[in-house]
Structure 1
Amino acid sequence: MNIEVNLENMQFLECFSSPTRVRIIELLGSGPMNIKSLSEALAIKSPIVTRHIQRLQEAGIIRSETIAGKRGLQKLCYLQLSQATLHFKGVPAIDTRKKYAFSIPIGHYSAYEIKPTCGLASETSMIGMCDDPRYFADPEHVAAKALWFGSGYVEYRIPNYMIANEQPDSLELSMEICSETPCAVNHYPSDIMFTINDAPIGVWTYPGDFGGVRGVYTPEWWYKNIHYGLMKTIRVNQEGSFIDGVRVSDTTINDLQLTYGKEILFRISCSATAKNCGGVTLFGSGFGNYNQDIDVVLRCRP
């Protein structure tokens, strides 16, 4: 992120005038935390922490999501930025990288291997029958806006529009995702693995189920208890792999072996032998709290 030092960006710059806000950024650099945990680590009251969080959110430095906790809903805070560059001469650095951006509908997976419970749904109805993996091969699966499975994987073929002389610099994917559970419970963790071109990116442990609240975009006909998930952003660059700005592995963009004329394989999985085998649910446009599918941005250098 490039920031020009001027009065227009005071909202961002003022965030660093407070030792408390800098300490919050430092704490979130190690991983997401809720307001209570931040309050205890900072030794200040929760309402004060909340005000600092609001300032950092408004500046785009962190983001927060309301999730189900052991005693009701809680706000979980994440570090949104991994780096920022200040420009004092009034001329921000020009990003010369070429950008390829597109969206992959969640029903457009190219391979799968799953175990029940499982299912597919379009914006208007179920696709086939619940808990029958055979329907993942139904031609109608391309219309799916929500899909779920107990264990296994789904894999997507991502187009690669790089030209021959370009070098990949970063790959970013974002999606709404949660665990899979046939009943609404407040604690249903799942170890979800992300892989690109067979290179392991990292494991994210989904904290719990959000069955008690209907997603903003979830259609009225939807009768199951899973209503929405969390937005996760995966970024792989020259430094390593990150989920929501938190480093999860040493896998770099070079390890993905992105080359001209070769598509990109993106796999989302949950192993039956994982410590938390809670499965996977993916929400596309028309479901959940975010009206999007799997958004992809590939940046290349000439």
Structure 2
Amino acid sequence: MKLDVTTANMRVLECFSSETRVRIIELLNEKAYNIGELAEALGLSSAIMTKHIQKLEEAGLVATENLVGKRGTQKRCTLKLDQLTLMLRTDSGTEEQSNRNSFTVDLPVGQYSAYEVRPTCGLASSEKRIGMMDDPRYFDDPERTQAEHLWFASGFVEYRVPNYLVGNQAATGFTVSLEICSEAPRYNENWPSDITFAVNGLEVATWTCPGDFGSRRGLYTPSWWVDTQYGLQKTLSITENGTFIDGVQFSGIRISQLNIRAGQELRLRISCPETAAHCGGVSLFGKGFGNYPQDIRVAITV
């Protein structure tokens, strides 16, 4: 992951100003730890350690999941990124070359082109709920394009991705970055869901989300919203080496198998079928909900 050194990214940069947080990253480089184990290793209280982990999680550097242990629920912590490159200067020539070789589009979560959903389900803008709760008919409501948050217990939503390739250009990379989690009534942080990603009808990866998160308020979630608060930021990447989620290979599907070329329809489907081993639904977050101020971001490299 590349990160510009700007004030817009202070949440990440501030994590490295603390020796304790750097030591936490060193420990998590070795293996996963729970809060108590990290606190004991660094000689801190669990309350203080929880605050450090929260900052690292909000910055997207650490991922956590709640697991049932011998003494109740434990929060298991793992590193979310393998590497982070700080960009101190953007060379104009490099930027122009990058612009010629790739394009990025942001898709609002409510701008899907097809859907099939089953309750619990619904949509919300940053200002209000859209239509009636648990009524799939409102996924056709014209206001759906204003949605910053949507959820469903099973089914799919599909997005048409603008294809700006020209001539003989063919995609050499396809990347999707989004905030996502499971869908439980109200919320349940121990609610696994098998979420499948497909491009042009070809299933490329299935990832099991650990839960539906609501125990603390999302950074950008409106104050009036009381249910699911935020998701996990995940990055799906398809290259000639295979399909990866957050740098971990999930399948051998290669970009050449998708045959993404100029003039071709480009569809991204996010689903949780009723037949999944863990049918725990899907919640998606746009820039007005959750912990990350972005919509579904798609980048295509040529």
| TM-score calculated relative to the size of structure 2 | 0.76
**Secondary structure of 2:80's match?**
strand
**Structure 1 contact 81–245 (Cα < 8 Å) conserved:** no
1:162 equivalent to 2:165? Answer yes
Find 2:63's aligned residue among 49, 62, 65. 65
Matches within 5 A, 1:1-302: 34-36=32-34, 46-47=41-42, 63-70=61-68, 71-81=73-83, 98-223=101-226, 225-300=227-302
Aligned structure 1 segments of 4 or more residues deviating by more than 6 angstroms:
21-24
Q: Is 2:170–2:259's contact at 8 Å kept on the other side of the alignment? A: no
SS of 1:202 mapped into structure 2: strand
Q: CA–CA distance in 2 between the matches of 1:139 and 1:183?
A: 25
Q: What residue ranges of structure 2 are gaps of 5+ in the alignment? A: 3-24, 44-48, 86-93
Q: Scaled by the length of structure 1, what TM-score is found?
A: 0.76
Tell me the equivalent position of 1:90.
none
The 8 Å contact of residues 28 and 78 in structure 2, kept in 1 or not, is answered as no
Name which of structure 1's ranges 95-104 and 274-283 shifts more when overlaid on structure 2.
95-104
The DSSP-based 3-state class of the residue aligned with 2:129 is coil
Distance 1:154 1:118, change over 3 A: same
User: What is the identity, as a one-letter code, of the residue corresponding to 1:238?
Assistant: E
The Cα offsets for residues 140-171 of structure 1, whole Å up to 9 and x where unpaired, read as 11011000000000000000101113231111
Matched-pair contact (CA < 8 Å) for 1:63–1:80: no
**Paired residues of 2:28 and 2:77 also in contact (CA < 8 A):** no
Query: What is the aligned partner in structure 2 of residue 13 from structure 1?
Result: none
Go from structure 1 to structure 2 and tell me whether the alpha carbon gap of 1:24 and 1:228 turns closer, same or farther (over 3 Å shift). closer
* CA deviation vs aligned residue, 1:202-238 (integer Å, no higher than 9, x gap): 1110012222111010001112x21111000000011
Q: Does the C-alpha gap of structure 1 residues 24 and 288 become closer, same or farther in structure 2, counting only changes over 3 Å?
A: closer
Contact 2:34–2:74 under 8 Å retained in 1: no
Identity of aligned residues (%): 43
Q: Distance in 1 between matches of 2:258 and 2:281?
A: 25
- Judge conservation of contact 1:36–1:46 (CA < 8 Å) in 2: no
Distance 1:46 1:266, change over 3 A: farther
Q: Deviations over 1:43-94 (max 9, x none)?
A: xx7439x9xx99xx8xx9x931344443254433224349x9xxxxxxxxx7
Mind listing any 5+ residue stretches in structure 1 that lack a counterpart? 3-20, 28-32, 85-93
Q: CA deviation at 1:268?
A: 0.2
Number of residue equivalences: 260
Whole-Å separation in 1 of the counterparts to 2:28 and 2:290: 29
Quote the residue 1:30 is aligned against. Answer: none
What is the SS of the residue equivalent to 1:292?
coil
Relative to structure 1, the CA distance from residue 164 to residue 23 in structure 2 (aligned partners, 3 Å threshold; closer, same or farther) is farther
Query: How far 1:22 moved relative to its partner?
Result: 9.4
> Equivalent residue of 1:167, what SS?
coil
Q: For the Cα contact (< 8 Å) 1:172–1:233, is it kept in 2?
A: yes
For residue 262 of structure 1, what is the amino acid of its counterpart? Q
Counterpart in 2 of 1:88? none
Distance, in Å, in 2 between the alignment partners of 1:270 and 1:130 is 19
How many Å apart are 1:24 and its aligned residue? 6.3
Change (3 A) 1:77 1:110: same
Q: RMSD of the TM alignment (CA)?
A: 3.4
